[in-house]
Structure 1
Amino acid sequence: MSALALALSWLTVLPVRTGIPSARTAAGALRWAPLVGALLGGVAGLVVRGLTAVGVPGLVAGLLAVGVLALGTRGMHVDGLADTADGLGCFGPPERALAVMKDGGAGPFAAVTLLVVLGVQAGSLGALTSWHAVAGSAIAVATGRAGFCWVARRGVPAARPGGLGAMVAESQAAWVAPVWWAVLAAAGYAVAGWRGPAGVALAAVLVVALSAHTARRFGGMSGDVLGAAAELGAAAVLLVLATA
């Protein structure tokens, strides 16, 4: 249970106390991440359901739910998405891209990427107003977190020393993420028919492509890429679930 406690401490604002994690516990925390994502996604779905039930427009409810997700994760994954976008958007060697990512400012690539990805999440969440949407939202956010296990798979080193990325780099067997995606695809089918597995499949393709490109561009993986994978994966599933 120490790995689950660490996952909750890392990935949510819940006041879960943990000691200094070992490499084994950190690796286990990543494997628990989809379950933590399901919890967060369920909360977001309940926010949308509750707000639309009292007459709040769907898009507004979706935007507020995205805000709740950002608050619930300390904005960590959103920040990772922004930094990854700026790193990929700059010219120069990997060292230059990593320096841009570490700077902390949000450049034009970050701004556009956040607008598009979070806008897709908000609009899609706003279209999911039934009780099934709560489960769909949980599956979507869980799928985004399952991408952690692919980004941190063996064979992809840390792009730089220190930080979360270095702690979990190469900590996951290559089969862990596909197993999670298969489980979530089955759950998605039970909730939303063909849209469930189609959304999970789209998320998996995007995360695989993101991991391959960032590994080449940055010389490995980083904590920022984990955040980008989470947000892209969730957006992909939500978009497909909201498709009429």
Structure 2
Amino acid sequence: MDGLRFAFGTLTVLPARITRWDRDAARAGMLWAPLAGLVVGLLAAALGGVLLLLGSGPLLAAVATAAVPALLTRGLHLDGLADTADGLGSAKPAEDALRIMKQSDIGPFGVIVLLFVLLAQVAALYRLYEEGWAYGAVGAVLAATVARLALTHASREGIPAARPEGLGAMVAATVPARAASLVTAAVLVTCAAAGALFSPYDALRHVLAAGAGLAAAALLLRRCVRRFGGVTGDVFGAVEEVTATVVLVALTLGTVQPAA
């Protein structure tokens, strides 16, 4: 229960009083992170579905679906994405880049990345909703779940914190590789099962989309560790948003099943 409270209390605004703030609770919380993503995705899909039923059309449903995760995280992940983009784009030494990331304003790199990421999410959800409400709903749920799974991987042992304080320092290097692998297997099985609701082809496509998102997260994480010397809370936000975006975009590829 401490891990569940930690996951929902740090990754969402849903009512979850954190009773323990230590590395043991952080380890459990990061292992439960995909469940927090699942709940966020379900709520996002529900709003999109309601709007479609009311006749809004797929575009407005896509915008609302993309907005729900931002609201349920107080925009912290998007803020982390923008700050990380500013830090990576600054071309300054690690210490100066980290200082830029802590500033309250958003620089040009952050604005540009934030704009294109949100546009990509809305465009991908719009395409999925065009295929049908179920495709859009499953896409929203999978993207949110896999995005939080990427946070589990970002908390693996061997990945240091860039700063001695903050959420990044609390969760960095807490998750054993074996535990992360088991959670990953469970999420990928869930992705396959969700895709199988449509067809065997979609089961494979959904797993590949999840894999693409995790691969993108790994590349970004590697770059950030090299650039900043480790992870921060902002890096976690960037990893989450990039993963969700790549999963959604990947799901739009090959949405029409090829003829037998």
Tell me the TM-score range normalised by the shorter chain: over 0.9
Alpha-carbon distance between aligned partners in 1 of 2:28 and 2:87, rounded to the nearest angstrom: 28
Alpha-carbon distance between aligned partners in 2 of 1:180 and 1:136, rounded to the nearest angstrom: 19
- Which protein has the larger Cα radius of gyration, Structure 1 or Structure 2? 2
Deviation at 1:132, TM superposition (A): 4.5
1:35-184 → structure 2 map (5 Å cutoff):
35-129=35-129, 130-184=133-187
Q: What is the aligned length?
A: 244
Q: SS of 2:246's equivalent? A: helix
Task: Name the residue aligned to 2:23.
Answer: 23
Task: Please report the TM-score for the alignment, with normalisation by the length of structure 1.
Answer: 0.94
The residue identity in structure 1 corresponding to 2:247 is V
Deviation at 1:77, TM superposition (A): 0.8
Deviation at 1:131, TM superposition (A): 2.5
Task: Please report the TM-score for the alignment, with normalisation by the length of structure 2.
Answer: 0.88
Task: Name the residue aligned to 1:218.
Answer: 228
Within the candidate set 188, 191, 195, 1:185 is matched to 188
Alpha-carbon distance between aligned partners in 2 of 1:178 and 1:210, rounded to the nearest angstrom: 19
Deviation at 1:190, TM superposition (A): 2.4
Whether the 8 Å contact between 1:137 and 1:238 is mirrored in structure 2 is yes
Residue range with higher mean Cα deviation, 64-73 or 31-40: 64-73
Q: SS of 2:177's equivalent? A: coil
Deviation at 1:91, TM superposition (A): 1.5
Residue range with higher mean Cα deviation, 198-207 or 6-15: 6-15
Q: CA RMSD in A?
A: 1.6
Whether the 8 Å contact between 2:2 and 2:19 is mirrored in structure 1 is no
117 and 240 in structure 1: CA distance in 2 versus 1, 3 angstrom threshold: same
Deviation at 1:123, TM superposition (A): 1.7
Alpha-carbon distance between aligned partners in 2 of 1:122 and 1:209, rounded to the nearest angstrom: 23
1:37-88 superposed Cα distances (whole Å, 9 cap, x missing partner) = 0110111112222212222232222112222211111111111111111110
Unaligned runs of 5+ in 1: none
Whether the 8 Å contact between 2:125 and 2:139 is mirrored in structure 1 is no
The residue identity in structure 1 corresponding to 2:62 is G
